[in-house]
Amino acid sequence: MSDITINVLGISGSPRRNGNTEKLLDCFLKGADAAGGTVEKIELRKLGYKSCMGCNKCHKTGVCVVHDDLTGIYEKILSADITAVASPIYSMSVTAEIKGLIDRGQYLWARKFILDNLHFDEDHVRNHKGFFISTAGMEREDVFDYVRPVMTAFFNDCGIEFTDTIAANGMDKYGGIEGRPEIMKNAYNAGREAVISLMVRKKGEG
């Protein structure tokens, strides 16, 4: 299986460097790397980009008119076999960094549902895995539920199967993600298993 390449893209949407959510993402990426995946990590806080302007020009052209540090990121997302999007919970949702990224993908929605020139068949979706990685300070059991429709829409537009959510609440109580070592281990194992499963599948299809 070593001749099979599995591209793994991690997107950190936390404005805080090396925070709880980014550490959890790093665990996922380390597991993916250990399994032989080709790993890349993007830290959105380091990029300069605008949010969607709502101009709807992409509804006619299928192309976003904004050109900045975010230009080209969606090409990486579309070419990745596994995409892990990481965001802490801010005000019961994703961070502004992640929301800005998602909204800029409006051109994909336009291509799928208005221009009808972008299609992902079942095999494509099945072979492209998406993970949402998150942490929250509060212990509310439903704290991650409000994000799921947002991430579902994002992965659907990108032709990605929403595979799993890896999340840890109660960070205030536990003093950070290090207080939840079982979740860190789960993230590592999820990254590793995602790569291995796609390697096996691609080998079988080959």
pLDDT at 205: 78
pTM of the model: 0.95
pLDDT at 1: 43
Alpha carbon of residue 137 to chain centroid: 21
Helix (H, G, I), strand (E, B), or coil: what is residue 39?
A: strand
- Three-class HEC string of 117-165: CCCCCHHHHHCCEEEEEEECCCCCCCCCHHHHHHHHHHHHHCCCEEEEE
Record the tokens describing residue 111, joined without a space: 């291509």
pLDDT at 206: 63
pLDDT at 2: 55
Can you give the pLDDT of all 206 residues of the chain as single tens digits? 458 899 999 999 999 999 999 999 999 999 999 999 999 999 999 999 999 999 999 999 999 999 999 999 999 999 999 999 999 999 999 999 999 999 999 999 999 999 999 999 999 999 999 999 999 999 999 999 999 999 999 999 999 999 999 999 999 999 999 999 999 999 999 999 999 999 999 888 76
- Enter the CATH code of domain 7-49+73-103+122-205: 3.40.50.360
